Amino acid sequence: MRTITIALAALLLNTSISGAAFAQCGNGSDTLFHCTAQKSGKQIEVCDTDKTIDYSFGKPGKKPELALSVPRADVTTWQWNGIGRYMSYTVNIPNNDHVYRVFWGVDRLTDEHAIEAGVHVEKNGDVLATIYCKPDTVEQSLEGVDLKPEE
């Protein structure tokens, strides 16, 4: 009996640890973007609830350092138009005088097709910081997202 209990506890622990590496969007929302930041190990996540776009940033398993819920009508997107070597997509989430530009892109003409993803943090149009994702942690569904086009 003790062996079964230990095996079950190990399985549950393994499931919760591996689950922390994946998107946490819930309550019927869709994951638009999720990754782990290269330097800090913090998670960047964008969820679509149909009424709002939710953005969060923080350490896995902890309360987010920043959590926004913005009406869909206030969020914009930039979609690759099919021309050029860089295929890229962005979702722009406003928060007063800040904008969180969550991005994903790839150079289509290189052999390795390296992915670049993360978030640009802007204030009044000036980039304050860029946080890059670990490429192997990126989950994204930014292509074709039904949001207002960026002007």
- In terms of Cβ atoms closer than 10 Å to its own Cβ (0-12, 13-18, 19+), residue 16 is exposed
Answer whether 118's CB lies under 8 Å from 109's CB: no
Residue 114 included in any domain:
yes
Q: Could you tell me the pTM of the whole model?
A: 0.81
Residue 59 included in any domain:
yes
Residue 73 included in any domain:
yes
Answer whether 93's CB lies under 8 Å from 78's CB: no
Residue 8 included in any domain:
yes
CA distances from 37 to 41, 47, 132 (A): 5, 17, 6
**Residue 39 has what pLDDT?**
95
**Residue 109 has what pLDDT?**
85
Residue 149 included in any domain:
no
Residue 150 included in any domain:
no
Q: How far apart are CA 99 and CA 129, in angstroms?
A: 11
**Residue 84 has what pLDDT?**
87
User: Range of 19's domain?
Assistant: 2-144
pLDDT, tens digit only, all 151 positions of the chain: 443 333 333 333 333 333 334 447 887 899 999 999 999 999 999 999 999 999 999 999 999 999 999 999 999 999 999 988 899 999 999 999 999 999 999 988 877 778 999 999 999 999 999 999 999 999 999 999 999 999 8
Count of structural domains within the chain? 1
Residue 78 included in any domain:
yes
Residue 151 included in any domain:
no
